[in-house]
Amino acid sequence: MTRTTPSPERARLAAALRDLRTRTGLSMVGLADRTAFSKSSWERYLNGKSVPPREAVRELCRLASEPEGRCLALWEIAESEWSGRAAQERRSDTPSEAPPTAPEPVPAEASAPVSRDDTRAGHRGAAVAVLASVCAVVVGGVAITLFLVLGQDAPRSSPSSPSPSATGPRCRGAACEGRNPMDMKCGVGPQTLASHRTASGAMLELRNSRTCGTSWARMWGTRIGDRLEVTADGRPRSAEVEDQADAAAYVYTPMTTTRSGSVVRACFRPASDGEEECFESRVR
């Protein structure tokens, strides 16, 4: 799931990663030798063609002796944009209904001949209409003047602030149960509770949103058929790598409601004959 033109968020992250790579003095081959990621993967990450896994950013920071904070903050922003756009693109693939066609104009009926008496009556009607318009203008002007004069001392109402749903998450608590964390904007700035690398090389993370009151799990570096299940206070939620596009991106489980002290547990079931791997963490 790569895109040819990096977004501003990915461009900023890629620039920071390129600076770190320069400081290490390592080539792409050197990065591949010193980390768990291939040369072609590093080329995509440093060019902004795809968002690297969190672990790749951490390994590059370690090689450059750079504190992780700034780069991980850039990564969170880029990863949220990347995942949110992917969900939007999937929704846009659904064909929408065709816009309603405008009704055809109805031809006007032919006007009947006008007699001289009708013409005089029309002139009188026009004069009355003009007089009424003049009166309306005068009355309207007086009303506007009074409004401006009397309204100067009236307190002005403050502009309404944007509703929380316009900028914040789209759900909270039980309303988020079973929903996609990226679609509901709960995946913006989440807390990583725990990470785990599987025997097959897939990376897993337990995530939590204090704002939404939910937790979920995600996986990457996976294979088609891999499954991930998360359980906490609510019912189990699971996700599966269905195709190659999923295998090349992050795959998220639906959310489950949690609160401070909840134990969140994730179990990975590989598509191969490997054993199930589980790990857990407590919401802080």
pLDDT of res. 4: 59
Q: Which residues contact 225 (CB under 8 A, 6 or more apart)?
A: 240, 241, 270, 271
pLDDT of res. 161: 39
pLDDT of res. 89: 55
Task: Look at strands 191-197 and 203-209 and give their pairing.
Answer: antiparallel
d(CA 230, CA 153): 60
pLDDT of res. 114: 43
Edge-first strand order for the sheet with 263-269 is 237-240, 227-231, 263-269, 277-282
Which of 1.10.260.40, 1.10.540.10, 1.10.357.10, 3.40.47.10 is the CATH number of 8-91?
Answer: 1.10.260.40
What crossing angle do the helices spanning 68-92 and 54-63 adopt, rounded to 10°?
150
Domain ranges of the chain: 8-91, 172-282
Size of the chain in residues: 284
d(CA 223, CA 185): 26
- Give the side-chain half-sphere CA count within 13 A for 250: 30
- CA torsion 48-49-52-57 (nearest 10°) is -20
pLDDT of res. 7: 84
CA 50 from centroid of its chain's CA atoms: 16
- Does the predicted TM-score (pTM) go above 0.85? no
pLDDT of res. 85: 62
Q: Which residues contact 258 (CB under 8 A, 6 or more apart)?
A: 208, 213, 214, 215, 232, 233, 264, 283
Strands (E), the chain: 191-197, 203-209, 214-220, 227-231, 237-240, 251-252, 256-257, 263-269, 277-282
d(CA 119, CA 212): 73
CATH 3.30.70 corresponds to the domain 172-282: no
d(CA 234, CA 249): 26
pLDDT tens-digit series, residues 166-205? 457 899 999 999 999 988 889 877 899 999 999 999 999 9
Do domains 8-91 and 172-282 share one topology? The answer is: no
Q: What are the residue ranges in the chain where pLDDT is below 70? A: 1-4, 84-167
